[in-house]
Structure 1
Amino acid sequence: MNLCTAVIACSLFAVAAIFSGEAVAESRVILPAAPLAEEMTGREVSFLAHNSETQASCVLEDSDLETQYGPWSTFKIPNLLIALETGVVDGLEAERAWDQQRRPAANYWPDDWRRDQTLESAFRRSAAWYFQDVAVDVGAQQYRMIMNDWSYGNAAAPDNSDTFWLDRTLRISVSEQVEFLSHLLSGSFDVAPESLEALTMASLDRSTNGFRLHGKTGSGPLVPGDFSRPFEGWYVGWVARNGLKPIPFALYAQAATYGEIRDFRRQFAIRMLIECGYLPGGFDS
């Protein structure tokens, strides 16, 4: 049963829109957490999606939308655009050779990181070393300027750092993730159509019956480098629908181990999007 038709009904109320500089009334649908308690066992989960067609947001009950967390690999969404917009990379097929001396493999690296990568393959595989090389070429000053223009979290990029999105220096909240995507997808940023099309191609997760799910996962230990501690993870993206405006969303989760969020974050985000009415039932089956 859809949660919005369950005994615990969705609540609607007027709030100031977080997606514009004006005080625009929007409705907010609250998905009750109680029917989802078993699925969320052992995890803290926050979820937000925004429909600019209707000025409605859909939120999982008790979500923390304002605390900033490390973006981890979800930063590859703006990072892909920054690489293209600065000219550091000239397209999705731009290949970089893996320099094993400069970027030695860590024991947690999957096999598909341990090879040369294109921009598209590095995005899809979350190959960190490729984007670390990009970060060196772009430079911290450029990052800070662009991230401030885009209001991307705290916009922190220290000089000489190629890990700022991986060590929790850069931080962003659930609402800021969604707001960034909302502005990006509405054309509010000065981003070339070719760059946005490249992101659209690289981020496509699944397409069926006129619905296209775009997304990027990200995760890491709450204490960077300490894989024995609890993990945090994201699934961030948007739903594209024929003839309608895209719906950006963000799911953030914490759990005791990586295994408890690895598949959960994407699967549960899809569940939330179905409950919100933004994806058809059985979308991922």
Structure 2
Amino acid sequence: MPFQTAIAACSVCALIACLAGEARAETRRVIAADPLAKEMTGRDVSFLARDLETQEACLLENSDLETRHGPWSSFKIPNLLIALETGAADGLHAERSWDPQRRPAAGYWPEDWRRDQTLESAFRRSAAWYFQDVAVDVGAQTYRTVLDAWRYGNAAAPEASDRFWLDRTLRISVSEQVAFLSRLLSGSLDVAPKNVEALATASLDRRSPEISLHGKTGSGPLVPGDFSRPFEGWYVGWVARTGMQPIPFALYARAATYGEIREFRREFALRMLTECGYLPDGFDR
């Protein structure tokens, strides 16, 4: 099923639920942490997913769902939409030239950041400078207005800042990440369908004939700029299923080093989605 068809179906179902007075209260399923303790060693992990078809939430035991954290590059999900909605980019093909004088490469930059980018390549590669340039074009007031309307965390975007999502000024909780995606995917946000479609294209991680996984990682040091301190990270996205509403999810992890969360974020999120019954065994192989 094309993604936009699924979004339309979500909107219809959301309307039915509203007219019914939201008769179906959310149920919660908790995945025990003890059997997963070895995989989580040395890490603090929180996970939440919400099946918009059944209104079931599935979470990892002892998850902290309400504390707000810096979103880091998981903010590229709303930022891509904001770029498209405001005209700062006219599509996934929108190219920006890297100016090494204006945006000098830091030592940790991968090689694929050090070149011109399109909106899609910058999203997939997590090229921060592209979205910093977008932030300058969009402006802080527009960010605050949009993020407040979307109820995205604390909606903080200081004037003259092009890195508010990278310095922990903007903060969001696990539950707020999932709630934002739930509103987006159910069609209750004022976002053009073509821009939601563009996000689905850019965020596609893996697909099978019946299921597609969409997601974005993000990470950074708890003390911005101090790479010797503990790191925090995200894997945020949704599972799209043929003929059914999607399943937004968010995983947050914290550990002593970046290496301890780099691959773990995505791998453990998929493990949790499998434990919840939202992905089949072996989906990622």
TM-score, length of structure 1 as denominator length: 0.92
The answer as to 2:147 corresponding to 1:147 is: yes
Match of 1:215 in 2: 215
SS state at 2:270 partner: helix
What is the CA-CA distance between 1:142 and the residue it aligns to? 0.1
* Larger helix proportion of the pair: 2
Alignment of 1:20-39 (within 5 A): 25-39=25-39
Partner residue in 2 for 1:182: 182
Letter in 1 for 2:135: A
Cα offsets for 1:66-123 (capped at 9, x unmatched): 0000000000000000000001110000000001000000000000000000000000
Equivalence map 1:170-249=2 (5 Å): 170-249=170-249
In structure 2, what residue type is equivalent to 1:167?
D
Q: Residue 183 of structure 2 aligns to which amino acid in structure 1?
A: H
Q: How far did residue 219 of structure 1 move?
A: 0.1
* Runs (5+) with no aligned partner, structure 1: 1-18
Q: Deviations over 1:127-172 (max 9, x none)?
A: 0000000000000000000000000000000000000000000000
2:115 is matched with 115
Letter of the structure 1 residue corresponding to residue 111 of structure 2: D
Letter in 1 for 2:77: I
Could you report, residue by residue, the CA deviation over 1:216-270 in whole angstroms, capped at 9, with x for unpaired residues?
Answer: 0000000000000000000000000001001000000000000000000000000
The one-character-per-residue Cα deviations of 1:25-75 (angstroms, maximum 9, x if unpaired) are 221000000000000000000000001211100000000000000000000
Give the AA of the match of 2:31.
L
1:130 aligns with 2:133: no
What stretches of structure 1 move > 4 A for 4+ residues in a row? 19-24
Distance in 2 between the 1:153 and 1:137 partners? 22
Moved more, 21-30 or 201-210: 21-30
Tell me the residue number matched to 2:54. 54
Aligned residue number for residue 8 of structure 1: none
Distance 2:32 2:209 in 1: 28
How far apart in 2 are the matches of 1:146 and 1:275? Answer: 35
- The 3-state SS of whatever aligns with 1:262 is coil
- C-alpha deviation, 1:23, in angstroms: 8.5
Q: In structure 1, what is the equivalent of residue 263 of structure 2?
A: 263
For 2:186, give the aligned amino acid.
S
Hey, what does 1:83 align to over in structure 2?
A: 83
Deviation at 1:24, TM superposition (A): 5.4
Residue 209 of structure 1 and its aligned partner are, at CA, apart by 3.3
**One-letter code aligned to 2:146:** I
Tell me the distance in 2 between the aligned counterparts of 1:133 and 1:169.
18
Q: CA deviation at 1:208?
A: 1.2
* CA–CA separation in structure 2 for the residues paired with 1:196 and 1:35: 37
Q: Which amino acid aligns with 1:121?
A: S
For 1:230, the aligned partner's letter is: P
Give the length in aligned residue pairs. Answer: 267
Question: Greater shift after overlay, 100-109 or 203-212?
Answer: 203-212
**How many Å separate the matches in 1 of 2:65 and 2:42?**
19
Partner of 1:90: helix, strand, or coil? Answer: coil
Letter in 2 for 1:217: T
The match for 2:42 is 42
SS of corresponding position for 2:227: coil
Q: Distance in 1 between matches of 2:53 and 2:43?
A: 32
Aligned partner of residue 229 in structure 1, secondary structure: coil
Kindly provide the amino acid, as one letter, of the partner of residue 237 in structure 1.
G
CA RMSD of aligned residues (A): 1.4
Give the TM-score, by structure 2 length.
0.92
Q: How high is the sequence identity, in percent, across the aligned residues?
A: 77
Counterpart secondary structure, 2:233: strand
Corresponding residue for 2:94? 94
